[in-house]
Amino acid sequence: FFVSQSDLEFTVDNDKLIVKARESIWNQSSVQRFLDYYVELLKVLVSKVTEKGNASLVTISDLMILPQSQRTFLDLALTGRTENWESHLLMHEFFEKSVDTFPNLIALRLMEKTMTYGQLEASSNRMARYLIEDCNVKVEDRVGILLPRGFDQIVAVLAILKAGAAYVPLDDAYPKSRIISIGEDSGMHVCISSKHNNLCSSADQFGGFSVEEVSFDKKSPDRLVDIPVGPRNLCYVLFTSGSTGRPKGVEIEHRSVSNYGQYILESFARCKIVVEDNILLTSRLTWDSSVQDIICALGSGG
């Protein structure tokens, strides 16, 4: 940023474009986004002039400042069209793609502890097998997660999705009555909890188990195959705050997460996010934005 006489100034210096912005109005990401749109506009302009053979034949309606990925995202969001859903990865498959690419890179870091992509893959596969073989979890069964923020919480999310089920996040700050209400309304099949959680007994009435008391190591770490889950199956169920009455569940299908995940990873690529970068997971699992955090981190190799 430079001291600018106006809100935003552009200066061409040979083959360089110098931008001066008033810091009190513009932040760096906004200026970068503005430049991305400007570059896209120039690309389209050159393309249209080449196509029509004469600059005077190019009209305003021929020009577009949004990149193709953003146009596709907005088009789908506004029209509700669902073609090509099957070509997109499911939420846990974004992670599995990263595992196949760099299994030895660090996937999770909490204080001094770390877990690689390969270790996270093995742990989630073992838990997924436990859900299927010991808890009789089937496609679209609702599985609750009542765990503190940490490795086990992410392992549980991936395990539930790998088993073909839908996860129902619960906050350990919830009162017991709210957890029971959500469990009943969601039709929860089983709930994953921790023995260190004071609300562990709330999970027990839904066939719950604590992660510390199960020997997952007896299960195979290999990736599960032939699980019949697709874009139109449920991915997760979030419940409203219940401030106006009884909490209401919102069911989210894989196809919604799939398209959004593809969009945000493409956005990451444009922002030059690389595998060595660290991504801070700030959202609670009960917040919708946590889905973006998980896909951004584990889908990009960060």
Q: What is the pLDDT of residue 128?
A: 95
Average pLDDT estimate for 251-273: 75
Residues 6+ apart with CB under 8 A from 80: none
Checking if the pLDDT of 142 tops 80, the result is yes
Model pTM above 0.75? no
Checking if the pLDDT of 296 tops 50, the result is yes
If pLDDT is split at 50, 70 and 90, which confidence band does 75 have? low
Tens of pLDDT, residues 146-196: 998 899 999 999 999 999 999 999 988 888 888 888 888 899 999 998 877
CA dist., res. 74 & res. 8, Å (int): 27
- Measured at the CA of 215, the angle between CA 211 and CA 217, to 5 degrees, comes to 115
CA dist., res. 121 & res. 5, Å (int): 54
Q: In what order do the strands lie in the sheet with 166-169?
A: 209-210, 188-193, 142-146, 166-169, 234-239, 249-253
Q: What is the pLDDT of residue 201?
A: 58
Checking if the pLDDT of 129 tops 50, the result is yes
CA dist., res. 60 & res. 41, Å (int): 11
Q: Which single residue is written with the structure tokens 């700030």?
A: 282
Q: What is the pLDDT of residue 172?
A: 81
CA-based end-to-end distance of the chain: 28
Average pLDDT estimate for 89-96: 86
Q: What is the pLDDT of residue 300?
A: 64
Residues 6+ apart with CB under 8 A from 281: 149, 290, 293, 294, 297
> What's the fold here for domain 85-300?
Rossmann fold (3.40.50)
Checking if the pLDDT of 284 tops 80, the result is yes
Count how many Cα atoms sit within 13 Å of the Cα of residue 101 in the half-sphere of its side chain. Answer: 14
| Residue 275 tokens, joined | 């595998």
In the chain, what are the domain boundaries?
8-65, 85-300
